Amino acid sequence: MGLRFKYNIALLLTCLVGIAAASGVSYLVVQKSAVREIHQAIDLIRANAIAVRSYTVSNITPALSDDSDILFFPETVAAFSAQSVFQGFKKMFPEFSYKEAALNPTNPDNLANEMETGLIEQLRADPKLEQISTVVENDGNRYLTVAFPLTIKQEGCLMCHSTPEAAPPAMVDLYGPNHGFGWQLGETIGAQIISAPMSIADRRAEETGLILIAGFTLLFFLIFIVSNVLLGRIVLRPVRRMSDVAEKVSMGDFSVPEYRKPGKDEISSLSHSFNRLRRSLERAMSMIDV
Ligand code: HEC
């Protein structure tokens, strides 16, 4: 096995390990920063929902609640408007979702599913938790899902969510007396559950990984070509010439011209030493011949 072959095998293995390690690490780093961006998108969706909620409470509820004995407009309810406005957003970004899920909801559509119930129970168990993130797989796609606690902080909420008797009769007519009541002040009754597709993060990480692999492969080829040319010029060609001369001299043929590698590197000094050795040998041989 020639020197060049051994060298290239070592170079190839080192480069393969390097490319794999660098691509893997960069994939993780890029994915992490993309996940951070998804979190920011989720925070924006939440901020928008909170703004819609507070707009509803301060502008819509006072304008429409006068006739609440006879008529009840769900539009006056913050939870309803926040979720309805999100439906408009979803038309443009169908992969995102926003739900005000509750364990005992007024509107059965808002009933927490099994996964959401798990998140709400965790938030209820630890009131200091401000959010919980989890990755959910659905139809082969991964979603980053974040749950923010919905806690009853104002007495005003209890008007409609404590007992059916306290709630506007028109509301009880519309939603029924069996659910959405019994909530307590300070209780976490549900969570804002916001999901965003992880595919953005995965795609970005894959793209960066591919660019890096292509870049490293190009770099490897450059190193391969340059180092092979240098290896040939600096080491292999002089060593081959010295070995040819040595071969002939060892057979007693002193007619071959001396080979002197120019420069001051180790191979040049070896060529000089070899020439000295050859002259000594030649002298010794001529003495024997005499
Ligand atoms: C005027 C009555 C009324 C008041 C006051 C009220 N809600 Fe509601 N709430 C409702 C109704 C009705 C719904 C169902 C809306 C729908 O159809 O989606 C609802 C829904 C909700 C939901 C979604 C889960 C569910 O029960 O369907 C949450 C969460 C919620 N309300 C929290 C609150 C909080 C917190 C407050 C106080 C800041 C509050 N509500 C005040 C009537 C009210």
What CATH number is associated with residue 106?
Answer: 3.30.450
Specify whether 92 is located in the same domain as 115: yes
Indicate whether 20 belongs to any domain.
Answer: no
The tens digit of pLDDT for each residue in 185-223 reads 999 999 999 999 998 778 888 888 888 889 988 998 999
Specify whether 174 is located in the same domain as 242: no
Residue nearest to atom 40 of ligand 1 (CA): 157
- 69 confidence band (pLDDT: 50, 70, 90): low
- Any idea what DSSP says for residue 69? T
For residue 161, how far is its CA from the centre of ligand 1 (angstroms)? Answer: 7
- 177 confidence band (pLDDT: 50, 70, 90): very high
Is the pLDDT at 68 greater than 70? The verdict is: no
* % of the chain at pLDDT higher than 70: 98
How far is residue 193's CA from residue 71's CA, in Å, rounded to a whole number? 30
Is 127 within 8 Å of 188 (Cβ atoms)? yes
Q: Is the CB of 107 under 6 A from ligand 1?
A: yes
Rounded mean pLDDT, 34-42: 92
Burial class (CB in 10 A: 0-12, 13-18, 19+), 230: exposed
Is 82 within 8 Å of 71 (Cβ atoms)? no
Candidates 181, 191, 184; CA nearest to 104 is 181
Q: Is the CB of 249 under 6 A from ligand 1?
A: no
Q: To test the ligand 1 pocket, which listed residue (77, 117, 187) has its Cβ within 8 A of the most ligand atoms?
A: 77
Candidates 66, 77, 62; CA nearest to 174 is 77
Q: Look over the chain and give the mean of its residue pLDDT values, rounded to a whole number.
A: 91
Specify whether 142 is located in the same domain as 223: no
Rounded mean pLDDT, 167-186: 94
Indicate whether 175 belongs to any domain.
Answer: yes
The total number of structural domains that make up the chain? 2
Query: Which is the closest atom of ligand 1 to the Cα of 175?
Result: 12
The pLDDT of residue 67: 59
The tens digit of pLDDT for each residue in 119-162 reads 999 999 999 999 999 999 888 889 999 999 999 999 989 999 99
Select from 165, 185, 200 the last residue of a domain: 200
The pLDDT of residue 19: 86
Specify whether 211 is located in the same domain as 194: no
Q: Is the CB of 157 under 6 A from ligand 1?
A: yes
How far is residue 231's CA from residue 3's CA, in Å, rounded to a whole number? 9
How far is residue 64's CA from residue 72's CA, in Å, rounded to a whole number? 9
Specify whether 117 is located in the same domain as 192: yes
How far is residue 148's CA from residue 35's CA, in Å, rounded to a whole number? 17
How far is residue 43's CA from residue 81's CA, in Å, rounded to a whole number? 18
How far is residue 121's CA from residue 151's CA, in Å, rounded to a whole number? 13
Specify whether 151 is located in the same domain as 270: no
Q: Is the CB of 164 under 6 A from ligand 1?
A: no
Select from 153, 174, 200 the last residue of a domain: 200
- Report for 31-35, 174-178, 210-214: range of highest mean pLDDT: 174-178
Tell me the pTM: 0.78
Indicate whether 242 belongs to any domain.
Answer: yes
- Report for 60-69, 73-82, 211-220, 248-257: range of highest mean pLDDT: 73-82
Indicate whether 4 belongs to any domain.
Answer: no
Specify whether 170 is located in the same domain as 227: no
The pLDDT of residue 290: 62
Indicate whether 9 belongs to any domain.
Answer: no
For residue 181, how far is its CA from the centre of ligand 1 (angstroms)? Answer: 10
What 3-state class would DSSP assign to 248? helix
Indicate whether 114 belongs to any domain.
Answer: yes
Indicate whether 6 belongs to any domain.
Answer: no
The pLDDT of residue 263: 86
Specify whether 145 is located in the same domain as 216: no
Q: Is the CB of 87 under 6 A from ligand 1?
A: no
Specify whether 113 is located in the same domain as 251: no
How far is residue 24's CA from residue 191's CA, in Å, rounded to a whole number? 36
Residue nearest to atom 38 of ligand 1 (CA): 157
Is 52 within 8 Å of 80 (Cβ atoms)? no
Q: Is the CB of 110 under 6 A from ligand 1?
A: yes
Query: Which is the closest atom of ligand 1 to the Cα of 105?
Result: 26
Specify whether 132 is located in the same domain as 83: yes
For residue 159, how far is its CA from the centre of ligand 1 (angstroms)? Answer: 10
Is the pLDDT at 237 greater than 90? The verdict is: yes
The pLDDT of residue 201: 79
The pLDDT of residue 28: 87
Is the pLDDT at 12 greater than 60? The verdict is: yes
Query: Which is the closest atom of ligand 1 to the Cα of 57?
Result: 38
Rounded mean pLDDT, 259-263: 87
Residue nearest to atom 5 of ligand 1 (CA): 157
For residue 80, how far is its CA from the centre of ligand 1 (angstroms)? Answer: 7
Specify whether 78 is located in the same domain as 195: yes
- 227 confidence band (pLDDT: 50, 70, 90): very high
Select from 180, 200, 220 the last residue of a domain: 200
- 17 confidence band (pLDDT: 50, 70, 90): very high
Domain containing residue 60: 25-200
Residue nearest to atom 41 of ligand 1 (CA): 157
Specify whether 147 is located in the same domain as 248: no
Is the pLDDT at 273 greater than 90? The verdict is: yes
Residue nearest to atom 6 of ligand 1 (CA): 157
The pLDDT of residue 26: 85
